[in-house]
Amino acid sequence: MRSMSAFHLIPYMVKSIVPTTKLVPPGIQLIEAPSLWEQGYYGEGVVIAVLDTGCDTDHPELKNQIIGGYNFTSDDKYDPEIFEDYNGHGTHVCGTICAEKNEAGIIGVAPFAKLLVIKVLSKQGYAKSSWITEGIKYAMNWVGPNGESVRIMNLSLGGQQPDPDMHEAIKQAIASNIIVVCASGNEGDGNEETNEYAFPGAFPEVVQVGSVNLQEKMSHFSNSNSELDLVAPGEDIISTYLHREFAVLSGTSMATPHVSGACALLIEKFEHEFERKITEPELYAQLIKRTISLNYRRTFQGNGILKLSSSLVKQSHENSYKLEV
């Protein structure tokens, strides 16, 4: 008998709606994505499946980024070909990952990557666990028009109870060389000594992402638990929104796509350098290598804040130390 647990959007805060803008978002600067852009890496050739409320397919920053999509929700009478976003959450997540590099709007972490939009959350932000599970399986088995496959899944959603079918699907996706990046949840109380769990983020196989503000302080709402992997900017994050506009949102949902976009940059970089496909464990190791520990317990910050050039900094410090002795 299949489990039918209820899942939902991780609650988030809309700070403001902005009709137009032109900038590199501060969160993307904070994780040092431009350091890889300068090396020529923008996530080209990488497909990221975003399992969320859909996407504003007419948004000028996103319409060229979408390679495909599927609707598993009851919206539009379950029409699988309509994966339009009526909530805003999914569009915001998509923009942080790979909003187009152009002369207007914002730029995403990996602006040359492509989006597979998997709509598993209705316009009310509600999902049956079966929708998410089927969405994971669809993304895992999807083949693009030129033979592309999904390399990253972004799940900025959660439920209080673990679903065994969803867990099994996630393990299968990871075994097929897809890294699964999930939000930790916004049930945190600001106390490092208490644990809060939201699933699928708390499954040990996924990359669980917590939130910091733009001053690199832990967000009081960010869940703490022993499975947390790292943190990224999740407060006052500007990205794409409904009706071709932009919005400033806060939540671990906003931190998660920073990490998914970073994974796309790292895939392109290391597959170029290694001249072979990088495995999911290797990608995870390269991601965690690019973290800097903050002054918090590991249960609150995981391995620390994502800094894409931090491995170079660490190496530089090691070299200077050796020279001094």
Q: Which residues are catalytic?
A: 52, 89, 253
In DSSP notation, 48-64 reads EEEEES-B-TT-TTTTT
CA angle 42, 63, 268 (to 5 degrees): 20
Residue 90 has which token pair? 């999914």
Closest Cα partner for 227 from 182, 293, 257, 264?
182
Compute the residue count for the chain. 325
CB 79 within 8 A of CB 72: no
- Residue 266's identity, in one-letter code, is L
Instruction: Give yes or no for a contact between 32 and 254, defined as CB atoms under 8 angstroms apart.
Output: no
| Sheet with 150-155, side-by-side order of all strands | 66-71, 114-119, 47-52, 150-155, 179-183, 207-212, 230-233, 305-306, 291-292
Cα(55)–Cα(216) distance, integer angstroms: 29
